[in-house]
Amino acid sequence: MEPQKGEAGEVIVQGARVHNLKNIDVTIPRNKLTVITGLSGSGKSSLAFDTIYTEGQRRYIETFSAYARQFMGNMERPDVDKITGLSPVISIEQKSTNRNPRSTVGTITEIYDFLRLLYARASIAYSYNTGEEMVRYTEEQIVRLIENDFLNKKTAILSPIVRGRKGHYRELFEQLQRKGFLYVRINGEITEIRPGMKLDRYKIHHIELLIDKLPVSNEDSKRLASSVATAMNHGKGTIMVLDMESQSIRYYSRNLMCPTTGISYDEPAPHSFSFNSPRGACPRCNGLGTVAEADIKRVIPDPKLSIKKGGIQPLGPYKSSLIFWQLDAIAQKYGFDLNDPIESIPEDALNVILYGSEEQFTLKHQSLGVKSNYFLSFEGIISYIQNIHNEDLNGHGPKWAQQFIQYAVCPVCHGTRLKDEVKWFRVDGKDITQLSRMDIETLTQWFDKLEDRLNNRQKAIATELLKEIRERLTFLMDVGLGYLSLGRGAASLSGGESQRIRLATQIGSKLVNVLYILDEPSIGLHQRDNIRLIDSLRQLRDSGNSVIVVEHDEEMILSADHVVDMGPKAGRHGGQIVATGTPKEIAKSNSLTACYISHKKRIPIPKSRRERNGKSLVLIGAKGNNLKDITVE
């Protein structure tokens, strides 16, 4: 593919003296793939990042008003005489800078945003009670269905207003009576509303408002339609129709509803599938997928020690303080001594010490000869640690608490981060959490020809969304990240993985006339994936951008349009341009890089390997990230 014709010219650097650069001049062609290579410490990053990128950022910040710059801070001008032909610069460095526990591969690449939109608009909802497909109707459809289902039968039209909740509901009954309603159905029994009527507040109740009793016929549709409209209004879009003879019930709703049990879902929206929104996040872990729990083995590392000798690690040895006075009171209550080994303390007493109790303990204290009695409950050591840790919504508590905390997969959402209800919205039989857990290679195959497996309504909605999703998945495959999943946490990624994800995101952004600077993107890649990475960089170039890569990889150097070789050595002996030109021109020079790419020099393979000492490091059952319960020596 021929590169698009961008703005003609070159990036010209004159008199660069940053770090160990020796007042160098260099010309880098625009809209080309340029590799800056050389020994480690020869000045590659000083030229690419600390000179070219820093100057680009400084010029960008200078476009802001003086008022805005005071909040951003002024960047110092790099030690360089002049840089001309500079485009807007984007740096993609090799480091994992995103430590937000809420960021994932899917959110960084925006693929998950498209998935949320796909599921909000094109998914099919199923009941979490029966597995049936959820249904919804208009009021006109509901009237016709009732006439069809209950023709010539005596019925009661009901509005569900309380579903499985405790309370006496006296105020509710008074409010309904003031509105002119006479009857309610309480736990299956139709009852007249009486003044002062209330229920057992400690029992669970189901309450429906009786709107009308009528025989269903085709001749009196107006009354039925009026009753349905009133019932819809009071039942928040859901009504119940009771067959007075058989006592069987049917549910109808303009919301998503289970036709058998009557449970309903809110109308799905993109934030319903977001673990960063209260609408979609698991209530137990708040969308993090993990929960922080105090580890009893860290709290009590040696159960043979007594409490007085520091057996409870967070407290340390006995001292005269309120918490130890409380422990004395608990010991007196349960008949043990603080000098006893912790392992011999009665189980019920140890549970109170660790997890607390609502029970009041008598605390006897004497100060200045005055004896006092206090009645206090005890929060519990583990409960206290978890409470102060969980005060931080991002999941990072105080350092003191952190040392006793271990992280476990959330027992409610099982690491999916989302409410259980969300998992009952399916596209082609898959919910959004299943897609998030697939590796990108498998996910790409699943999306292939997905339109053929969708119905006509879904196709009309999803075609453009699927195009965007496939395109971004392909970019991730092209940079060698097919083994990752969209649900992989950003904080667990290596620097190289983070860099290649940002590269794939930039390719997907389709910007033009931008100068991209990358830091050794080939590190850690298999040879097959390295070729695909080079193709991705060429694609970025062919979109009308300039690409500068700091790199040691031979294949990357030979694939470049232009090479800048730094040297001749490292540190104060480097910082100079020893060769520049096309890879063929570089190979003809006398630089150290040229000697290796022209195969004048080689790194010899040793004839024999060092003998083992008989010792080994063994990993058993490793399951982190994409490891499949492996054992390796």
Average pLDDT over residues 72-92: 90
Residue 368 has a pLDDT of: 52
Cα–Cα separations (whole angstroms), residue 340 to 193, 301, 316, 332, 336: 63, 16, 15, 13, 7
Average pLDDT over residues 436-445: 95
pLDDT class of 97 with cuts at 50, 70, 90: low
HEC assignment per residue over 86-107: CCCEEEECCCCCCCCCCCEHHH
Average pLDDT over residues 406-425: 92
Residue 392 confidence (pLDDT) above 70? no
Residue 4 has a pLDDT of: 41
The radius of gyration of the chain from alpha carbons, rounded to an integer in Å, stands at 35
pLDDT class of 625 with cuts at 50, 70, 90: confident
Average pLDDT over residues 408-436: 94
Could you read off the pLDDT of 149-170 as tens digits, one per residue? 899 899 999 999 998 889 999 9
Residue 523 has a pLDDT of: 83
Residue 36 confidence (pLDDT) above 80? yes
Query: Contact, 595 vs 567, CB < 8 A?
Result: no
Query: Contact, 566 vs 572, CB < 8 A?
Result: no
Residue 2 has a pLDDT of: 41
Residue 414 has a pLDDT of: 93
H-run or E-run covering 468? helix 456-478
Residue 172 has a pLDDT of: 93
Residue 95 has a pLDDT of: 66
Query: Contact, 546 vs 516, CB < 8 A?
Result: yes
Residue 67 confidence (pLDDT) above 90? no
**What domains lie within the chain, and their CATH numbers?**
10-96+511-597 (3.40.50.300), 139-267 (3.30.190.20), 294-384 (1.10.8.280)
pLDDT class of 3 with cuts at 50, 70, 90: very low
- Return the structure tokens found at 491: 């904080």
Query: Contact, 75 vs 58, CB < 8 A?
Result: yes
10 Å CB burial of residue 20 (0-12, 13-18, 19+) is: middle
pLDDT class of 6 with cuts at 50, 70, 90: very low
Residue 517 has a pLDDT of: 95
Cα–Cα separations (whole angstroms), residue 80 to 13, 16, 19: 8, 4, 11
Residue 482 vs residue 389, higher pLDDT: 482
Strand ranges, E, within 297-417:
357-367, 370-378, 405-409
Average pLDDT over residues 392-412: 76
Residue 372 has a pLDDT of: 59
Percent of the residues in the chain that have a pLDDT greater than 70, as a whole number: 95
Residue 260 has a pLDDT of: 83
First CA to last CA distance, the chain: 47
| Coil vs helix vs strand at 253 | strand
Q: How far apart are CA 75 and CA 51, in angstroms?
A: 12
Could you read off the pLDDT of 597-607 as tens digits, one per residue? 888 888 888 88
pLDDT class of 608 with cuts at 50, 70, 90: confident
Q: Give the least confident one: 481-485, 502-506, 561-565, 573-577.
A: 502-506
Could you read off the pLDDT of 218-264 as tens digits, one per residue? 877 889 999 999 999 998 888 999 999 999 888 888 888 888 887 88
Distance of CA 223 to the CA centre of its chain: 51
Cβ atoms within 10 Å, residue 528: 9
- Return the structure tokens found at 439: 């590796």
Highest mean pLDDT among 41-55, 287-301, 347-361: 41-55
pLDDT, the chain, mean: 88
In 3D space, the residue among 276, 277, 411, 225 whose CA is nearest the CA of residue 266 turns out to be: 277
Residue 499 confidence (pLDDT) above 90? no
Residue 364 has a pLDDT of: 67
Percent of the residues in the chain that have a pLDDT greater than 90, as a whole number: 55
- Return the structure tokens found at 260: 């058998």
Average pLDDT over residues 527-543: 88
Q: What is the dihedral of CA 300, 304, 307, 308, to 10 degrees?
A: -140
Query: Contact, 184 vs 208, CB < 8 A?
Result: yes
| Residue recorded with tokens 């025989």 | 215
Q: How far apart are CA 588 and CA 598, in angstroms?
A: 8
Strand partners, 515: 89, 546
Q: Give the least confident one: 3-7, 568-572, 624-628.
A: 3-7
Q: Does the model's pTM come out above 0.95? A: no
